Every structure is written in C-alpha cells, then in structure tokens.
Amino acid sequence: MERILCLLHTQSDGTLSQLALETLTVSSTTAAQLPDAVLLVGILGTATQQAATQIGSCGANQFFIAEDPALEKGSYHNDTNAAEAIAKAAQATIIFAPADSRFNRMISGMAIRLNGRADTHAVAVAADNGTLTISRWYYRQRIIAQQTRQQRPWVISIESDTAAPWKGDSKTVDATTVSFAVDANTKVIGTIAPENTVQTIKPDSPLLFVAGAGWCKKQSDGQTHLLEAESLILDFVNRSGASLGSSKSLVDQNSEGEAVLGCLTHMNQVGQTGSTPRHPKGLATCCHGEEPHTVGWRFITQRRAINTDANCGWARGKTDVLYVADAFKVMKILNDLLK
C-alpha cells in the first residue's frame, strides 16, 4: 500500500501557488489510481493552517503542517528539516512536490535523509496496472524517458503544466502539527531583481520575445546600431507585455566586455545553459536558431522568427514561420502598431 504525500509550501501571503495546486492534482489522481493508496498532505511555511483550509476538501486522509517564521522564505537547512519531519510523520512512500526553486533546492537532499531516492522535473505521471511511471527529459529537453523505480520513499518533483490545478471548496481540517529543529546559520534576506531585468522576465506572459546577437552586429550600412536596437527591444517588450529572452551569444558579450545591450543578463538566456521557459507563443529576432538555443524552446507552442538569413537554423523545422527580413525595420513598424 502506497502512502502518497503531497508536500507543499505556502507563499508569503499564506496561499498555495498554482504549481502547488497542480501537484495536488497529480497526487490525488495517483492515489485514486493505485490500489489501496492513501493520500496525505504536508504543508510547510507560515499560515499553513490557512493553506490546509484552502485545499481541505481534496480528499486527503490526513494533513501535516510544519510552521515557523523561519519558513517564511525558503532555505535549505530549515526546509529540509521541516520536510523530513513531515515525511517521517506521514510515513510516506511516495512524495510529490512542486518543482519550484524552493523545493528544487532541497528535495533530493531530503530524499537522502529519508533513505529514499529522488527523480526531479517529472512532466507526466501515470499509474497504469498498479505501477507508477513518470516521464522526464534528459539532455536538456532532447530525449524523453518513461521510468519507474522500486526504492521507497520515492520523491518526485512535478513541473508546471503536468496537470490542471486542483479546484475545490475550502474546508477547515484538523491538521497534525509536526515539530522540527530550526537553524539560524543561513538567513534569507529577501528577493532582489538584478539590475534592469525586473520587468523583462515575465513567466506568465503569453509571449516570449527573444533577442539574438544579430542586434549588436554590423548592419547593411556597415555600422552597429546598439542604441536603436535596445530601444526597439524594450519598446516592444513594454508595449506587448512579452517576456524578454536572449541567446547566449548576446548575453556573453556582457561578461566579455564587448559592446552590449544593457537590458540583458544571463538571467534572460534561453537554451542549453539558460532557461526553458513556458509560453504559448514565441518570437525570435536576430537569433540564428542553433540547437543549443532552440532546446530552450521545447515548451513554446507557437513559434515565429525574423532573420535576414533564409538558411538560418530556424528554417530547419524549428519554427512555424520564418520571416526573411530585417528585424530593425519590422520591429519599428510593429512597435508603432502596438502604440
């Protein structure tokens, strides 16, 4: 009999994130599909009772909460202590947790404390014929595998969009409070926006706009046009509400001391050694569309690109539409339309 623990943390306002609710759907669906499985919920953070009430009607047999001001923001030491205490109190054999930065920091370490194993970044979970199987990507979104595991506890982190967010009535529940040791070595000061990037990275935007190194290259007049490039990019991002991504070549110029666009940092980089954002649409400009870049587009559904080169990487099946054109000219007109 599997004891399935859905391990969550509260956000600073005491609510549960969308990804937390998606993880709850995965957990309750799995509990319903596996014979004799029991659903348990564990919540760490602050205002955990409020969060438990938010999902009180999810059908869990038991709720566990670990609460302390030290858990308001995530740190490895305290999160791991709290999560370990919850998992042990719940005697969990399978633990689902959201793959957000807070839990990505600690769930594999927690698995070691539980003498278990961890598989991270699951994008699908199935429980056919009594066997739990997960799907996850290898080699930066190039190879996908379906896998299962014998060891227990088995800790699995869930990526966003794996399931619909759980919906249901709130209900007061009688949660079991779990105690854990609080440590003061690490102090979390808070979150900080790297200079200039605060408004440019928007995970919830329907559109990703990628700027490539072509924006800083010499154009047909033999000159670079950095100021114009930067203003076209920022105008577009501001007017369209798009999230700003970049190729590696463009952001690398920053650390190598070349002429650069100040609005971009490594945080904007998409691809092999950058991010793999999720947006319904993506528009690439002045970017060649090489494989190490486009692996970061795995979860961009509709894709368009503007490049002066009809033979660039995008032309080889990486985008739905490739406009062979000068992005400087197209973006200027597009920005006027968006005014």
Partner 1 sequence: MPTFQIIVCAGIVPEPLQTLEPVENAGKYALKNEAMLPMIIDPWGMHALYEAAHLSKTYPGSKIYLVVAAPKGKLQQVMMTIAQKVPFELIAIDTPAGGFTEAYEVAKALEQAIKSIPALDMSQTLLFGGWESASRCSGATMQMLGEMLGITEQFQGVDTLTVKEDGSFEIMERVEGGLHQKSTFDKLPAVLGWATGDLPEPPNNPQIGMMNMRGIMPSIMKAKKEDLPNEGIELKSCEVPKALRETKIVDNMTEEMIANEIFTWIKKD
Distance between the two ends of the chain, CA-based, in angstroms?
60
**The entry of partner 1, ligand FAD, none that residue 308 binds, CB within 5 to 8 Å by partner kind:** ligand FAD
* Under 8 Å between Cβ of 41 and 64: yes
Tell me the C-alpha distance between 21 and 19, whole Å.
5
- Does 262 bind partner 1 (CB under 8 A)? Our answer is no
With CB under 5 to 8 Å by kind, the binding choice for 309 among ligand FAD, partner 1, none is ligand FAD
Q: Is 176 in the site for partner 1 (CB under 8 A)?
A: no
Q: Any contact of residue 248 with ligand FAD (CB under 6 A)?
A: yes
d(CA 97, CA 58): 16
For partner 1, give the closer residue by CB, 58 or 111. 111
In the bound complex, what is the minimum distance in angstroms from residue 278's beta carbon to ligand FAD?
16
Check residue 165 for interaction with ligand FAD (CB under 6 A).
no
Residue 310 CB, nearest approach to ligand FAD (Å): 9
229 makes contact with ligand FAD (CB under 6 A):
no
Cβ of residue 331: shortest distance to ligand FAD, in angstroms? 9
**Where in 310-329 is the site for partner 1 (CB under 8 A)?**
310, 314-326, 329
In the complex with partner 1, which residue's Cβ is closer, 5 or 107? 107
Tell which one of 91, 161, 188, 217 touches partner 1 (CB under 8 A). Answer: 188
**One-letter amino acid for residue 126 of the chain:** A
Among 212, 243, 265, 297, binds ligand FAD (CB under 6 A): 212
Structure token digits, residue 87: 């998992």
Q: Which amino acid is at 213?
A: A
Residue closest to 3 by CA, chosen among 101, 94, 72: 94
**35: number of Cβ within 10 Å:** 9
Region 116-135 residues binding partner 1, contact defined as CB under 8 A: 117-121, 133
Contacted entry of partner 1, ligand FAD, none for residue 288, CB cut-off 5 to 8 Å set by kind: ligand FAD
CA distances from 11 to 14, 167, 199, 326 (A): 5, 18, 21, 44
CB 152 within 8 A of CB 93: yes
Binding of ligand FAD at residue 217 (CB under 6 A)?
Answer: yes
Which of 90, 94, 97, 55 has its CA nearest to residue 177? Answer: 90
d(CA 165, CA 41): 15
Q: Each residue of 157-171: b (16+ CB within 10 Å) or e?
A: bbbbebbeebeeeee
Is position 293 an interface residue for ligand FAD (rule: CB under 6 A)?
Answer: yes
Nearest distance in Å: CB 180, partner 1: 13
Residue 140 near which of partner 1, ligand FAD, none (CB within 5-8 Å, type-dependent): partner 1
| Smallest gap from residue 44 Cβ to partner 1 (A) | 16
328 lines the binding site for ligand FAD (CB under 6 A): yes
In 3D, which of 9, 86, 101 has the Cα closest to residue 47? 9
Interface with ligand FAD (CB under 6 A): 212-214, 217, 219, 247-250, 269-274, 286-288, 290, 292-293, 296, 306-309, 312, 326-328
